Chain A
Amino acid sequence: MAFWDDSSFMIFSKREPLLIFAGFVALILASLPVVGAPESWLVYLFLFFIYLAMANMWNLLAGYAGLISLCQPAFLGLAGYAMTVGTWVGIPWWIGLIGGGIVAAVFALAISTAVFRLSGVYFAIGTLVVPEALRMVFYLWRPVGGQMHGAGAGYMVKGIGDLSGDVIYWLALVVALSSVVLMRLILRSELGLGLAAIRDNERSAASSGINIFKLKLYTFIIAAAVTGLAGGVFYLNQGYVEPTATFNVKWTMTLLLATVMGGLRTEEGPILGTIVVVVLYFLLARYGGYSFLIQGLILIGIMLLSPQGIIGLLRRLHLPAAGRVRGF
Chain B
Amino acid sequence: MRGKVMGSVDVFTPVLMGIMLGGLYALIALGLSLVFGVMRLINLAHGDLVILSSYISYAIFTYLAVDPILGLVITIPFMLLLGFLIQKYILGRGFAISSETPLIIAFGISLVLQNLNQILWTPLSRGLNTSYSHMSFFIGERQFPVSYLLAFLAGIVVMVGLRAFLTRTYMGRAITAASQDKRAAQLMGINTNRIYGYAFAIAMGAAAVAGVFLGMTFPFTPTSGISFLTIAFGTVVIGGLGSMLGTFLAGIILGLSQTLGGYLFGSASQMLIVYVLVLAILAIRPHGLLGR
Contact = CB atoms under 8 A, between A and B. Distances in A.
Nearest to A121: B42
B107 A129 contact: no
A128 B116 CA distance: 21
B280 A114 contact: yes
A133 B226 contact: no
B107 A125 contact: no
A295 B272 contact: no
B278 A303 contact: no
B111 interface: yes
B115 A136 contact: no
Interface stretch (B63-71, B96-104, B160-168, B173-181): B96-104
Given A121-B42, A290-B115, A300 B109 contact: yes
B115 A299 contact: no
Interface in B187-241: 226-227, 229-230, 233-234, 237
Contacts of B44: 124-125, 128
Contacts of A34: none
Q: Lowest 10 CB-CB distances: which A-B pairs, in order?
A: A114-B283, A296-B112, A296-B111, A299-B108, A133-B275, A293-B115, A300-B108, A136-B272, A121-B42, A117-B286
A136 B270 CA distance: 10
A121 B108 CA distance: 15
A293 B116 contact: yes
Contact of B108 (A68, A70, A296, A307): A296
Given A133-B275, A140-B269, A296-B110, 4 more contacts: A114-B279, A122-B286, A125-B233, A296-B115
B213 to A, nearest CB: 22
B127 interface: no
Contacts of B237: 122
A142 to B, nearest CB: 13
A125 B229 CA distance: 9
Given A121-B40, A253-B107, A303 B269 contact: no
A296 B94 CA distance: 15
Contact of A303 (B101, B118, B226, B272): B101
A120 B99 contact: yes
A49 B119 CA distance: 30
B105 interface: yes
Contacts of B282: 114-115, 117-118, 122, 126
A304 B90 contact: yes
B93 A304 contact: yes
A145 interface: no
A114 B281 CA distance: 9
A61 B40 CA distance: 22
Nearest to B271: A136
B119 A256 contact: no
A13 interface: no
Given A115-B282, A133-B275, A140-B269, A124 B112 contact: no
A249 interface: yes
Contacts of A115: 282
Interface residues of A, number: 43
A274 to B, nearest CB: 17
Contact of A256 (B107, B115, B118, B275): B107
Q: Which of B41, B90, B109, B112 has its CB near the most chain A CB atoms (within 10 A)?
A: B112
A42 interface: no
A277 interface: no
A203 to B, nearest CB: 16
B275 A132 contact: yes
Q: Which of B104, B233, B275 has its CB near the most chain A CB atoms (within 10 A)?
A: B104
B30 to A, nearest CB: 17
Contacts of B275: 129, 132-133, 136
A297 interface: yes
Nearest to A130: B279
B242 to A, nearest CB: 15
Interface in B221-271: 226-227, 229-230, 233-234, 237, 268-269, 271
A238 interface: no
B276 interface: yes
A139 B99 CA distance: 36
Interface in A258-275: 260
A40 interface: no
A300 B99 contact: no
A133 B276 contact: yes
A98 interface: no
Contacts of B105: 299-300, 303-304
A141 B43 CA distance: 32
Interface string B107-132: 11111101110110000000000000
Interface in A284-312: 289-293, 295-297, 299-300, 303-304, 307
A74 to B, nearest CB: 12
27 contacts: A70-B107, A115-B282, A121-B103, A122-B42, A124-B44, A124-B103, A128-B230, A129-B230, A129-B234, A130-B279, A132-B226, A132-B230, A133-B272, A133-B275, A136-B272, A137-B272, A140-B269, A140-B272, A249-B226, A293-B115, A293-B116, A295-B111, A296-B112, A297-B112, A299-B111, A300-B108, A304-B97
A250 B114 CA distance: 11
Contact of A62 (B100, B227, B280): B100
Contacts of B116: 293
Q: Which of A113, A122, A125, A126 has its CB near the most chain B CB atoms (within 10 A)?
A: A125
A260 B94 CA distance: 14
A152 to B, nearest CB: 12
Nearest to A112: B283
Contacts of B118: 289
A281 to B, nearest CB: 14
